[in-house]
Amino acid sequence: MTEHLVAILAYDRLCTFEFGCAVELFALERPELGVPWYRYAVCAAEPGPLRAMGGIQVQAPRGLATLRRADTIVVPGWRDADEVPPEPLLRALRLAHARGARVCSICSGVFVLAHAGLLSGRRATTHWRYVQKLAARFPDIDVDAAALYIDEGQVITSAGSAAGLDMLLHLVRRDHGSRVANQVAQRLVLSPHREGGQAQFVPRPMPTADDSAVARLMDWLRANPRLDHTLASMAAQVHLSVRTLQRQFKQATGLSPLDWLIGERLGLARELLESHPGLDIEAVAELAGFGSTESLRHHFRLRGLPAPTRYRSEFSLAR
């Protein structure tokens, strides 16, 4: 990958954190990686002055014309989910997308892509505070309230602010492979890939004494992923009824026990594929608790992941 130009949009009342994440990922030189790094341009989405959160003023050296040649465009949030973005910005995004540019949003930036018509018929996500508003205003979008980010190929959306870093690291992984993405994550003091969705961050009631049963169960399931778990067996393990277990688990994690278990097994399978290149796929499936390669492939496919063999070739730490 050479001469890949990333256009980072700036606008009045700019979301400073989201903007800083994009600048940190793409504008900082990284010669130690040994790969051709991105070129970047900060582009004004509208005429100035451009004020940012915290009393900062931003001077963007480029304008929307740069989007005509950008390979990737990042929309780092948007100032008001209820405000329709300026038509020149929407038109520039449509034209860039039509010629093949990759367009990404962080947090409330999804509303810019939605108003531009780039999410119609696609899956998308945003901060949990905005998911209902996005779904109500744009019913043609398949809004996923749980995902940290969603990669639809040419259009990528991410959840709340910090999830933008997960998405941006994902782009690096797509472009340069797992080894480079892991090095960038290490420099940022971040996990290369966070497991779970944003449901774990949605405010919920403070845990009660009953929630300790959920914690004990989670520890036991992690230690015994290969057993044939059912709702009944999980409830019996912590001496709860199935209905009580489901209610408490949902309150504590935002997920059902079985959905959470599948996520844990997928995380273990991915870790084994990344870090144990000599382990065959059947062994990975067995150790992760899927029982068969067919089941492993099925769940990878359901989560939008590459097939296990391809996943290993793309994300193995031995690369």
Tens digits of residue pLDDT in 302-314? 877 788 998 888 7
Same domain, 95 and 24: yes
Same domain, 37 and 162: yes
Same domain, 14 and 96: yes
Mean pLDDT value of segment 259-285: 90
Work out how many domains the chain is built from and give that number. Answer: 2
Assess whether pLDDT exceeds 50 at residue 277: yes
Give the pLDDT confidence score for residue 1 in this predicted structure. Answer: 55
Of the pLDDT bands very low, low, confident and very high (cuts 50, 70, 90), residue 291 is: very high
Same domain, 215 and 285: yes
Distance CA 41, CA 192 (A): 25
Give the pLDDT confidence score for residue 194 in this predicted structure. Answer: 63
146 near 195, Cβ under 8 Å? no
Min mean pLDDT across 161-165, 205-209, 279-283 is at: 205-209
Q: Which of 188, 218, 239 is the last residue of a domain?
A: 188
Q: Quick: pLDDT tens for 65-101.
A: 999 999 999 999 999 999 999 999 999 999 999 999 9
Of the pLDDT bands very low, low, confident and very high (cuts 50, 70, 90), residue 203 is: very low
Q: In terms of residue numbers, what domain contains 301?
A: 207-319
Of the two residues 201 and 58, the one the predictor is more confident about is 58
Residue 12's CATH number: 3.40.50.880
Assess whether pLDDT exceeds 50 at residue 317: yes
Same domain, 223 and 183: no
Q: Is there a domain that residue 196 lies in?
A: no
Give the pLDDT confidence score for residue 313 in this predicted structure. Answer: 84
Same domain, 175 and 231: no
Mean pLDDT of the chain: 88
Q: Quick: pLDDT tens for 247-256.
A: 988 887 778 9
Q: Is there a domain that residue 151 lies in?
A: yes
Same domain, 250 and 115: no
Give the pLDDT confidence score for residue 316 in this predicted structure. Answer: 72
Same domain, 254 and 295: yes
Mean pLDDT value of segment 22-39: 91
Same domain, 77 and 130: yes
Cβ contacts of 280 within 8 Å, gap of 6 or more = none
Residue 303's CATH number: 1.10.10.60
Give the pLDDT confidence score for residue 192 in this predicted structure. Answer: 63
Of the two residues 159 and 190, the one the predictor is more confident about is 159
Q: Is there a domain that residue 170 lies in?
A: yes
Same domain, 168 and 307: no
Mean pLDDT value of segment 315-319: 62
Of the pLDDT bands very low, low, confident and very high (cuts 50, 70, 90), residue 178 is: confident
| 27 three-class SS | helix
Q: Dihedral through CA 134, CA 140, CA 145, CA 147, nearest 10?
A: -120
Give the pLDDT confidence score for residue 200 in this predicted structure. Answer: 43
Distance CA 115, CA 185 (A): 32
Mean pLDDT value of segment 20-26: 93
Q: Is there a domain that residue 194 lies in?
A: no
Cβ contacts of 174 within 8 Å, gap of 6 or more = 151
Q: Quick: pLDDT tens for 135-148.
A: 999 999 999 887 88
Q: Would the CA dihedral through 8, 12, 15, 20 be positive or negative?
A: positive
